[in-house]
Amino acid sequence: MGRAMFYHLTGTPLEATLPRLLERSLEAGWQVDLRGRDRARLETLDDRLWLGAEEGFLPHGLEGGAHDARQPVLLTTSSEARPGTACLMAIDAAEVTAEEAARMERVCILFDGHDDMQLTAARAQWRALTGAGTVAEYWAQDDGRWERKMSTAG
C-alpha cells in the first residue's frame, strides 16, 4: 500500500512546487500521472514545465499524444491512472480513490491554501483515504520550508 502526501500550498505556488516533486518522483524511477480537472489548466502547466529549462529537462507529455503510455510524466484529466503508474499527483481538487492509492507507491495531493474549494476537497480526501487505511502525511510551509505537520503512520 502506498502513502498519500498532502501538500498545503500557502507560500509557494503550484507552478514552483510541482517541478521539484516531479523531479524527485522521476529520480525514484516512478512513472507519474499528474491529474487535474481542467484541460486548459494542464496546458498552462505543460507550457510552464517546458519553460523551466534552467532547472534541467523534465520529460513529460500532455494527454492525447501518440506516446502517452511511454511518457515519464503525463498531464491528464483521466479518472484512471495508466498501467505502470507508480506516483499519482492530483491538483485542483482532482479525486483520488483509496483503491488507486493502494496500488501506488505514492499519491501526492497538492492544494492551494487560499482556495476554499480546494481546502474543502483536500479535507474530504484526507478523511476518505485515511478512513480506508491509507497512510497519509500532511505537509505545510513554515517560513518557506516544507515541514511535516501530521502523519497517520505509527
For residue range 2-17, list pLDDT tens digits in order: 899 999 999 889 998 9
Which helix (H) or strand (E) covers residue 61, if one does?
Answer: strand 61-62
Predicted TM-score (pTM) of this structure: 0.93
Eight-state DSSP code of residue 114: T
The conformation of residue 55, written as its DSSP 8-state character, comes to: G
C-alpha cell at 95: 479525486
Strand-pairing partners, residue 147, are: 140
Question: Within 10 A of 145 (CB to CB), how many other CB atoms are there?
Answer: 8
Express each pLDDT in 84-136 by its tens digit: 999 999 999 999 999 999 999 999 999 999 999 999 999 999 999 999 999 99
What Rg do the C-alpha atoms of the chain give, in angstroms?
15
* Chain segment 21-58, per-residue pLDDT in tens: 999 999 999 999 999 999 999 999 998 887 754 556 78
- Dihedral class, residue 85 (left if φ above 0, else alpha if ψ from -120 to 50, else beta): beta
- CATH (one of 3.40.50.10110, 3.20.20.80, 3.40.50.720, 2.40.37.10) for 3-151: 3.40.50.10110
